[in-house]
Structure 1
């Protein structure tokens, strides 16, 4: 499948890009080109979009809300289909290779969930081999933690191996130094728009009004640092050193054909987690470590809906801000080659993953490059691409 099919008019993700001779502005991707949306809107005499898209982040667009997001997409698709305005489009078009892509959103708050039953079961089996894999609360609420928004970086940014405290089972005392169990987490991120006031809630059926789009996400994890620090308050330095976001955000409207029913939820969730707008997404992820495909996790297996995650996030009165990001947690499937982390793939080091060059990995080594890609069903029966997320591990400083 070529780039034009994967990145066609039914896709049209949003990003932010700059050229050597121009400032950053909001863009979309069509095939192997980007279209500068502020430039296009000015040429088409659409002042509203020209003003909103002439920015170095999508945040001013996020504030506009669902009706404006839909109107902008309709305008863009109409102008791309209009033969009389082809010249305007051509003048705003640049080859993808000639632009620099930036973090598309100024991240406000960042929350990471734990929404894959398969991932949670695998992790529980590794850490609690003689007990229940799932904790008693897992099927009653979408578990999550509040992360550090300031260390969300755009795809292509090097990731410095973190340092911190760790204590293995055979270490008499805690050690300090670089993580030796550095891992990936193949995830799907959701970008939020439409601010709410502190003390208010967003219901399951209202959540869709705030879900702007989807972007691939890698929540890098230092498993040894995490294991020593997370009792009793949860992840901290083992997660906060870097999280990588794709430069492309796929609008929820482009993913209508990808929506499907959730897996059966038993026991039935509490009332605030119920509603009519419950859905999964038929996204097919691929995780590549250097030149080897090590996993193909299916997002359609996820237990909790994005609308349930957002409803739970706000049920205590926590406000939403334009540019909020929440992520799904590691995406894993039933099969071994569908696990979305090395912790699971190598079963905590007991079953190392063999790469195509003959080397093995239990966890990441300096110089390793991890790339996550994904596709989704298109309205015409084809596939849409989601923007990749990639990062290289470099030595600690």
Structure 2
């Protein structure tokens, strides 16, 4: 089956027939094709698609996911089905996108060797950058699902304790460029690395906003809390795992070898390139392929103690950062905790985010036949405390 689409402009778009991310528009499940969306309840007669979230479809399992994707691709690439699909196609500019899924639980990991090392050098200069456990397990924390918000939601500057007797708005508001993984099929743990694709439906872009001054004061000894829980933004699009087949790579080498339950059964590293814009200007391009821990390992570790996973669970990679200074996925790294501010083309500088700043994160990866695909975007604007 040819993946050339009859939808105007789709073949030249990274949202082509090899991509087909799912979302929710005007209260119904849709697929994006180029600059249009296809309403799936219209073409398939309702069912799991007649919903204001992807949860029912995600719970249906891998067989149904693949069947639906093949049917959608056929509808959008075969002229014989154009008459059936075209009445349910609308320009993206004419619909309102919503939260793509109902979030059950949210877990955030810390899987970039470069990010963890940078923060270690910054805050523990007289010690080894990594804590002794870091190369033995994917470090993470349980976040707050209730403050996971869709892209475009304004982010109010949080207030909190910044030190002993010091309370007020965060002075070090930051971003974290992350890739999120959305669970479709529930399970009682442990879940093996080999079963990753049987449970995880797809990926979404994540910005885990962080108040670094609140975080620094509160996190010892139990970890992130109020410095993280005020907002986590996600893209309106969830890209199915099957769309990422050309992006899969073996994953970074690990030393020491992980314990048996963390051994990789399949290549689930992902060759994805991120881009961070501050007020429309690119300030960083983090690469995902170098992440130390892969998503199958994150899922296995998250459930090895018997913890359950549910439809709509979201777990994220932690900040994506590369080896070069221009590949860092947070402002605390880009500016080295404010010591070396980012200089913008208008002459202004940023150590951390100011009120009115807008941050937009995008990502792309290789698709079928070498045609790039897009993973959407996640954006937010800072409003005053």
Query: With structure 1 as the length reference, what TM-score do the two structures score?
Result: 0.93
Secondary structure of 2:24's aligned partner: strand
Q: Is the 8 Å Cα contact of residues 278 and 308 (structure 1) preserved in structure 2?
A: no
Secondary structure at the aligned position of 2:198 is classed as coil
Question: Which residue in the other structure is 1:21 paired with?
Answer: none
Map residues 133-282 of structure 1 onto 2, 5 A cutoff: 133-167=129-163, 173-197=164-188, 200-282=189-271
Contact 1:107 1:324 in 2 (8 A): yes
Deviation at 1:334, TM superposition (A): 0.3
Which residues of 2 match residues 294-333 of structure 1 at below 5 A? 294-333=283-322
Q: Distance in 2 between matches of 1:224 and 1:258?
A: 36
Q: Which residue of 1 aligns with 2:3?
A: none
Q: Which runs of 5+ in 2 are unaligned?
A: 1-8
Instruction: Work out whether 1:52 is the aligned partner of 2:48.
Output: yes
1:240-281 deviation line (CA, Å, top 9, x unaligned): 000000000110000000000111100000111013224210
| Contact in 2 for aligned 1:4/1:32 (Cα 8 Å) | no
RMSD (Å), alpha carbons = 1.1
2:308 and 2:12 mapped to 1: Cα distance?
Answer: 39
- Counting only pairs closer than 5 Å after superposition, residues 33-52 of structure 1 correspond to structure 2 as 33-42=36-45, 50-52=46-48
Provide the C-alpha distance between the structure 2 equivalents of 1:194 and 1:78, rounded to a whole number of angstroms.
25
CA offsets, 1:361-397, max 9 Å, x none?
A: 010000000000010001111200111000000001x
The residue that corresponds to 2:5 in the other structure is none
How many residue pairs match? The answer is: 377
Report whether the alignment pairs 1:362 with 2:370.
Answer: no
- Determine which of 76, 81, 84 is the counterpart of 2:72: 76
Deviations 1:292-333 (A, max 9, x none): 111000000100110000000000000010000000000000
Deviations 1:27-71 (A, max 9, x none): 0111101111101112xxxxxxx2110000000011101111111
Residue 117 (structure 2) aligned to one of 116, 121, 127: 121
**Residue 378 (structure 1) aligns with:** 367
Aligned residues of 1:260 and 1:281 also touching (Cα < 8 A): yes
Secondary structure, aligned partner of 2:277:
strand
Which residue matches 1:351?
A: 340
Q: Equivalent residue for 1:32?
A: 35
Question: 1:65-104 alignment to 2 at 5 Å?
Answer: 65-104=61-100
Q: What is the CA–CA distance in structure 2 between the aligned matches of 1:174 and 1:300, rounded to whole Å?
A: 43
CA distance in 2 between partners of 1:3 and 1:345 (Å): 36
* TM-score with structure 2 setting the length: 0.96
Three-state SS of the structure 1 residue aligned to 2:204 is: strand
Q: CA deviation at 1:3?
A: 7.5
Q: Does 2:9 align with 1:13?
A: no
**Cα pair 2:319 2:330 within 8 Å, conserved:** yes
**Structure 1 residue 15 displacement after superposition:** 0.1
Q: Secondary structure at the match of 1:6?
A: coil
Write out the 4+ residue segments of structure 1 that deviate beyond 4 Å after TM superposition.
none
